[in-house]
Amino acid sequence: MARGKVQMRRIENPVHRQVTFCKRRAGLFKKAKELSVLCDAQIGIMIFSSHGKLYELVTNGSMDGLIKKYKNASEDAQSEVSEANPQDAEREAIMLKQEINLLHKGLRYMYGIQTNEHMNLDELHALERYLEIWMCNIRSVKMQMMFQEIESLKSKEGILKAANMLLQEKQIVEQNGLMDTPQMVATEQNVHFGAPYIADIVNPLTVYTDYSYSYSGFRGSEMGYSY
């Protein structure tokens, strides 16, 4: 029967946790001993349980001797690093100084300053390489600035379009208001000149028109209402 995959997380059951700790510790010590025998290696292991109990294994010698050996090895490694750091810093300073001198010389040549110094082929190649790097950097910065400018213009365009739409809507509303004004004026004029309303006529079916004529022509007409 195949074993299931063990999830790498803390075992909550204290009994199961203690059993697993004992089994895994014994397996680790066994593998360390096998490695020491097979490869003639000096191995030291220290394990503290969850209760604070110490378990240790040393294949050759004692734990104190192994710890001293570790300290001496770590101090030697740190001293080598500290000795290498000044050399690296000095080497880097020399390289930077050479680059600065080359750039100063190239600038004097580009500005046409006559000097007794002459650039050899290697210096010219190096200067050409630096110029290409500068041009690439300048182009990249230029493209970034152009993209930012384009984005700014796009945002301004959107703001102007929104403002234009608002102005058009406002103009349409004002035009509709002006078109409604003459109709209101005409209604007010009809009321002012005494045009009869349907509401004022009590019985609209009794409205009659009396026309009187004479030999001299049309005399006039009167409109009356019967109540």
Q: What is the pLDDT of residue 146?
A: 92
Reading the chain (227 residues) residue by residue, the pLDDT tens digits are: 556 677 788 888 988 999 999 999 999 999 999 999 999 889 999 999 888 899 999 988 888 888 988 888 888 777 666 655 666 777 888 888 888 887 777 777 776 665 566 777 887 787 788 788 888 888 989 999 999 999 999 889 989 999 999 898 888 888 887 766 655 555 555 544 454 444 444 444 444 444 444 444 444 444 444 44
List Cβ neighbours of 36 (8 Å cut-off, separation of 6 or more): 42, 43, 59, 60
Q: What is the pLDDT of residue 181?
A: 62
Whether 25 contacts 54, CB under 8 Å: no
Q: What is the pLDDT of residue 221?
A: 44
Name beta bridge partners: 48. 54
Structure tokens at 143: 């493209």
d(CA 215, CA 194): 31
- Determine if residue 220 is left, alpha or beta; phi over 0 gives left, psi from -120 to 50 gives alpha, anything else beta: left
Residue matched to tokens 């063990």: 6
Q: What is the pLDDT of residue 34?
A: 93
Q: What is the pLDDT of residue 220?
A: 45
d(CA 178, CA 162): 25
Q: What is the pLDDT of residue 26?
A: 93
Note the pTM of the prediction, 2 decimals.
0.35
